[in-house]
Structure 1
Amino acid sequence: MQLSRRFSFLLHFGLIFSSLLIFSCGGGGVEDNGGSSGGGGPVDPPKEIIPSNLSLNVTIIGQDSDNPNGDGSGKVRFSASATNAVSYSYRFGTGDLQSSTSSVEYTYTDTGTKTYNVTVLAYSSTNHSVSISKSITVYVKAVSDITLLELLAGSSEKTWKINAAQDAHFSLGSSDREYPNNWNAPSFSKSESGFYDDEFVFNVDGTYTHTTNNTVFGKASFLNSDFGEKSGYNANSDGEIENYPLENYQTTFSAKSENGVDKLEFGDNGFLGFYVGEQDFTITCFDETNILFRTLDTTGTAWYFWLTSETVSETPSADQFTNLVWSDEFNNDGSLDSSKWVHETGTGEWGWGNDEKQFYTNRSENSKVEDGLLKITARKESWESSNYTSARIKTNKKFDFKYGRIDVRAKMPSKTNGVWPAIWMLGSNFSSDGWPECGEIDIQEYAHTNNFRVQSTVHHPDVSPGEGDTHIASGYNDVNDKFYTYSLVWTKEALTFYVDNKPHKIVGNSCALPFNSEFFIILNFAMGGTMGGDIDPNFSSDSMEIDFVRVYQ
């Protein structure tokens, strides 16, 4: 009986609780007049807002009928508008972008006339966007350093050509050098190519005209890639097309000095000289009418071109120096002409820097003029602390000169180990700047280490002092039996070595080298040392004989 009452109570309570629960849940399902949920129900997502009626207005600064692509400043003003837009993102076709709530101004910097695809995106408050694109063409005038601009264009316009008459007018070098250390073209050696008739015209307004006369010279891979392959124009064995068809063209240029380096940059595919796919050049050396340009291709090869604004000579550099300015014909027997020559005596420091074994004297036994010849004689004899004597003479402070042609007609001593006669030149600043900073030009050196041949060398700080840039001429095995004329033709462009008017070595010159200052002549006969080597114990005496020394400018 008690259990039944408890069950009845619980059943009654449960029915009441269930009714309350049903009533509470049912109240949230009623919509108001606006159709929105009442109470604590879910909220509908916000409505999408999409911009519309997007337009883009472009103003190229300075644009008019005479300047359809602007005034050359490269400045362009962009203004976008759209319904329901709160911000804009401008993309200028250069990789740059800029956001704004209104208009923006952008400056293009690539020189020349170029076309860009500009895009603007309009964004709404819900971050939805639409876009529009427009193509624009903008002219950017090259801005140049005034000094370099005057060099290139003068007061208005200046025309340049490859200085084909000079050795090393076209050269190659390694990327880590500022001078052509690999190969140098002899005068007029590329006459069959579309190279020498090109004209490179610079104008003060920053425009550049390349008068190609219908053909250019360059690397086939770069020409075909940048200008298109031409049927019937194939590369030679060096991968070059000597007469690639290309019409005259015009582009822009800028010339600036940056961190001490003078730079020239062309717009589009502009270039000068031999085409290697580059539009950037450095000006490594120049005067008012001559410039040495350098460019570096993608393979790491440095290419050099000497240009001149003067009329290119029809005479090769070897024959351009005809005015005899200094000479000694050695026609008067006896002592040397003291108005022309100075003796150097002693053993020098560490055997004149080469561990040489002789003591230089001013005695007639070691140097004298006899029978129309200067005879420099090395002798085996005890003198001071040495076992050999000889002579060394120079023109320093008697005759120092820059550029020209020097001819020395001479006969070498016999082929005996230890002899080391030389005809050479040293920079006149030797006493102040030292060696090898002053530069050294060896016209002829003769020793057993070069098999008693003709050896010519230049020394400067950029090569190992003991090595230098050396070349041994082929042939000439009889220089000890007959007279030969050993010559140097020295210009701002090159140093070319000759034997009897036959060139055997061209060294490209540059402002990076010490061969643009005065030098003096030295004649000497050393014994032993780094090049002479061990001296034959049977050596007693021998001479280098000089017929004449002549300098032309």
Structure 2
Amino acid sequence: MMKSFKIIIGLMFSVMLFTSCQEDDLGLDTIVVPSNITVSTIVSEDGSGIVEFDARADNAITYKYVFGNGETKVAPGGAYSHAFSESGDYTVSVVAYGTGGTSSSTTVDVSIFVAYEPPQDLIDKLVGDGSKEWRIYAEVPKHFGLGPIDDTEIAQYYGAPSNDKSGTGMYDDRYIFREDGTFVHITDNTNDEPETNPEGTVFGRINFIDELGGCADCEVQGADVLNIPYNDYTENWAVIAPGGAETIALTGRGFIGYYTGGDHRYEIYDGSIPNQLILRTTDGNNEFDWWFILTSEDENAEGSEGEESFQSQFSTEVWADEFNGDALDTDKWNYEIGNGTNGWGNGEAQYYTDSEDNVKVQDGNLIITAKREAESGFNFTSARITTKDKYEFTYGRVEVRAKLPAGSGTWPAIWMLGAEWPEEAWPGVGEMDIMEFVGNNPNRISSALHFPGNSGGSAILGENTEVTDVTSEFHVYEVEWTEDKITFLMDGESHLEFDNSDATPFNDDFYLLLNVAMGGSLGGSIADDFQESSMEIDYVKVFQ
């Protein structure tokens, strides 16, 4: 009887075990190789070299694109936008991956026409002598930030204050653009002595950073992941121009500053300032534009913005005009019409108008044009606009990005005047000339202060800043104004400092003025063949 009982128990256990195994087998995913791969392509017609790929396959969970130069791109959804830098015929391999590591592949051929050829001066700026290193410009405000997509204001939502991201894995990175098209990202430039050490850390956006391998133990602050271990690496780079916007395109996982996923393209928003680039890129969620200011100056180099460089006290934007409309905003600006008294006191030869021939807003810029044109007894017309009674302020930083007119006799100015004028006489109200330029002396710009005892030929003048390209390139002109000091700058470099005090008129409200004069006491003789020339202003901003 006992023996029979044991046999029955054994049979029951066997049935239970068999049933359990059957249930386990039913719970396993069936391994199926992806099939029916199709790849559609849309080749851009603007000569930018961009191709939109879209792969589809039955039973696929992710896709990988493999390009002829060895570059690869994983695209979980199958869609991927790739920028080719040269014209030609290309064969691209597409791999579809299924469960259990199974895969199948196909190839697709594309013919590319690239119409854009980057200017040599831009390539020279990026490459330098072949070992030129770029870095995040940690010393300046808004060197890193984010804002709405396609917005023209740098880092509208958030702009990092100077050195705000120390210790995150961003500031010790270096970026090298080599002439052969390779992009080198050094992830820690502080550990390469006496021997090169490829180990370092980087900084990036949560979830996107998983594309670099992730980091379970890294510190997370909000949506930022700090100090992700990542070695030096090499990718490829090219300058393309989708929609006419010069853009640095990086291959593979190549990135700059802060990893945001996306297409790894960085539009050169502003490349006009020597040794500096302002870039923006759209993240992989198509949610934000991310902004970066780069510099090729070493933080310890003489003349760079290091510990001894100028640091603004003002970082909050309180007033601005970026000229994004189709006409001058008369809620912000006034037109001044006429020639004033004796050419506004300077014997100037122009008559100021509000005509669109002389002042207009176009393509994101304010354009003030001086023309040889008869008007009200004068041989030239131009424009002068002010913020009097519409925006007046005491203390702050004024920043104006402008390209200046050319030609003998031109006299453009970006300046400020005491708000009590004309009720109070000049120079008692005070005058701050942020920038003056004379076409008859095209190799310098100047700044000045006018007040009682220091006006006309006795004004407080700074060093004559030597320039070469202010009529062909945009530059940033600034004044930093406090109760203790007034500092004038061009592209962040100071060229005039004045100790302010209670004895000066520079402690009350002032307003802004923009104009292009012709001839006069400073503009001098006007060329016989002069016809017209313009001052273009990208933006005017006030910070407090």
Q: Under a length normalisation based on structure 1, what TM-score does the superposition of the two structures give?
A: 0.42
Q: Which one has a bigger Cα radius of gyration?
A: 1
